[in-house]
Amino acid sequence: MVKISDNYITSLIAMLQNVYMINKIATTDYDASNEAEPFIKSIYIKNTSEANDIYKHKSTLADGYKLLKDILVGKNDISILTMQKYALNIILIQKNINKISDLKNMIGKKIDNYQDNSMMTTNLNDLIAYSEDIYKEYIGIIRPRVIISGKKEYLDKNSSLIRALLLSGIRASFLWDYHGGSKWHLMFRRKEILTKCDSFFI
């Protein structure tokens, strides 16, 4: 049986943190740039599979942590159900990427190209734009698509960041999968995950 490890919990919460930010900037006039930065940059960290090395500051995961607990205890507010749907779609996309021959490698090469290009910078706006391009080129064609609900003015304003955060969420889903994650655990191992969550910020 898969161990519910720190890496397991951290990567799962990171995925949900991305989902939380997507929902917030789609429905409110909120600037999430500072909060989003470590998650966008996480897309380009490929030299480790340790979630704690990728998501170094637990304080940046607080909203994802709360969302996970709300999901596990069965809260059914519309916003929670919406974010849960986004997360399940991200997991499905991640699984489908693995099923499409060479797609994961193509995405990996695109990420490597950014890292290897000395003309590129780590400027956040550049990373968001590049991440959006990866999402549109390689992931936007995959079904099921993640349809984001919100106010049109916020969806239009934040479309690039939303796509970049979706890519970041998929990256976290790959990491969760690597550490044994399964959507079925969210149904059948809730108590065990909740127990691990209770010690997350200690």
pTM of the entire predicted model: 0.95
Task: Tally the residues of the chain.
Answer: 202
Tell me which CATH code domain 6-45+59-198 carries: 1.10.3890.10
Q: What are the b/e assignments for 91-115, b being 16+ CB within 10 Å?
A: bbbbeebeeeeebeeebeeebeebe
CA distance 20 to 87: 9
Q: What is the pLDDT of residues 118-166, one digit of tens each?
A: 555 668 899 999 999 999 999 988 877 899 999 999 999 999 999 999 9
Per-residue pLDDT, 142 = 85
Residue 120 confidence (pLDDT): 58
Angstrom distance (rounded) from CA 16 to CA 105: 25
Could you state, in order of their start, the residue ranges of all structural domains in the chain? 6-45+59-198
Gyration radius from the chain CA atoms: 16
